[in-house]
Amino acid sequence: MGSRFGNKEVLLHWAGISQYLDFNIMPGVQTEIIGKKDYFNDFFNTTNYIWNEHVANKLTKPERYYHLGAAPFVYADALIPDQVRKDVGIFLPKHDVSTNISLENFSFGAIEEIKDSTDETVYAIAPAGARDEWEEVFKLVDIDIKVVSISDDAYSSEWTFGTAVLLGRLKSVYFPLFSTAVLTAYHSGTDVGYYDPGEIYQNIKTESIVPSTADLTDAHKKLEQVWLDNMDNCDVIMSLVKLFLCPHKRQSPQSLAYSLYMLNFESNRFTYAKRRMIDDFVEGTRCSWIDQDMIPFDLNRMSIAQNKLYEKCRDYDKLEYHPAVAELIPLL
């Protein structure tokens, strides 16, 4: 079993590290912590690789216990060869441990509208473990659509590479909410659209320590509205990508290897001193290797990947945040 969404495996592959290292990594943008304290990255884990500038801004632990770098997807995208774009993808709503989805309130009409608006093949993209459920639901409402998933297991080592392959071949994608996938789609170069899923979320575990997707903070609502109001504004979209994916924090394989080994060192020091919680240790050591037979073509050679990374990311190096995004950063 790999790390969550295969993020750790991408970093180790890019860094050319052929051994397991002990450190935690953000699973995604974690929109559920926007406008709230970040207990996951700040207290639950000893060391963290993080890739959101707003998360780094609110961490209270010393900097030696975390590293702010580029999102693993940025490296995965660079390693995937360019593809011919075709077809349309509709990302179906996600849910979390404290939230249930009321499917009877889902706007199936929105799916039909997207299908009717294009001659391309349209795919519905289900979250991990939900593909079979959505296939049955679409059959019940008599919507003929192919349901796919990047993987049925969120701990698939190839998840992030699978996402890069999928977004690299689709001409356009639609999302029901602001999420990690939205930002990775923009970075991939896919056309991005929005659809209203309806009043589908139900907060079913108010006692859960994990905030619910159904309960957005004011800061989260403002952030999502900035996205919706500026979907065609390149400066705003690039500002969001810079803030949440940190392409300007990209590193060479050698530099990234050093950063990851230092996180591993700090984790080992805490383990030796018996100052770690068991969940932290389990997640920190969870890792596997990428099975390249699971990827439909050979990855780019590192020299080609590094050039692609530079060409796609260099404009972020001196990019100033658009005022609409800059004014939100202190609230995040």
Average pLDDT over residues 5-27: 94
pLDDT(57) > 70: yes
Residues 6 or more apart from 274 whose CB is under 8 A from it? none
Nearest CA to 308 out of 316, 300, 317 is that of: 300
pLDDT of residue 45: 84
Q: What is the pTM for the complete model shown?
A: 0.94
**Which amino acid does the sequence have at 252?**
S
- Evaluate whether 247 touches 313 at the Cβ level (below 8 Å): yes
pLDDT of residue 96: 63
pLDDT tens digits for range 217-237: 788 889 999 999 999 999 999
Average pLDDT over residues 97-115: 87
Q: Distance between CA 51 and CA 70 in Å, rounded?
A: 5
Element (H, E) at 172: strand 172-175
- Tokens standing for residue 226: 């900035």
Burial 56-85, CB ≥16 within 10 A → b, else e: beebeeeeebbbbbbbbbbbbbbbbeeeeb
Taken in order 7, 9, 10, 16, is the CA torsion positive or negative? positive
pLDDT of residue 253: 98
**Which amino acid does the sequence have at 136?**
E
Query: Nearest 5°: phi and psi at 99?
Result: -135, 140
Q: Which residue has the higher pLDDT, 45 or 148?
A: 148
**Parallel/antiparallel/unpaired status of strands 99-101 and 201-203:** antiparallel
pLDDT(6) > 50: yes
Beginning with the edge strand found earlier in the chain, give each strand of the sheet holding 122-125 in spatial order: 146-148, 122-125, 88-91, 172-175, 191-194
Give the mean pLDDT of the chain.
Answer: 91
pLDDT(329) > 90: yes
Q: Which residue has the higher pLDDT, 102 or 85?
A: 85
Average pLDDT over residues 197-226: 73
pLDDT tens digits for range 20-32: 999 999 888 777 7
What percentage of the chain carries pLDDT values higher than 70? 95
pLDDT of residue 188: 98
pLDDT of residue 201: 81
Average pLDDT over residues 105-115: 96
Average pLDDT over residues 183-211: 81
What domains are there in the chain, each with its CATH number? 4-78+245-331 (no CATH), 81-217 (3.40.50)
Average pLDDT over residues 113-124: 97
pLDDT(204) > 70: no
Neighbours of 128 (CB within 10 A): 17
pLDDT of residue 97: 60
The pLDDT-based confidence of 209 (bands split at 50, 70, 90) is very low
Pure H helices in 69-150:
72-79, 108-116, 131-140
SS3 category, 277: coil
pLDDT tens digits for range 266-298: 999 989 888 888 888 888 999 998 888 889 999
- 32-36, 67-71, 203-207, 229-233: lowest mean pLDDT where? 203-207
- Evaluate whether 126 touches 147 at the Cβ level (below 8 Å): yes
**Which amino acid does the sequence have at 205?**
K
Query: Nearest 5°: phi and psi at 38?
Result: -105, 85
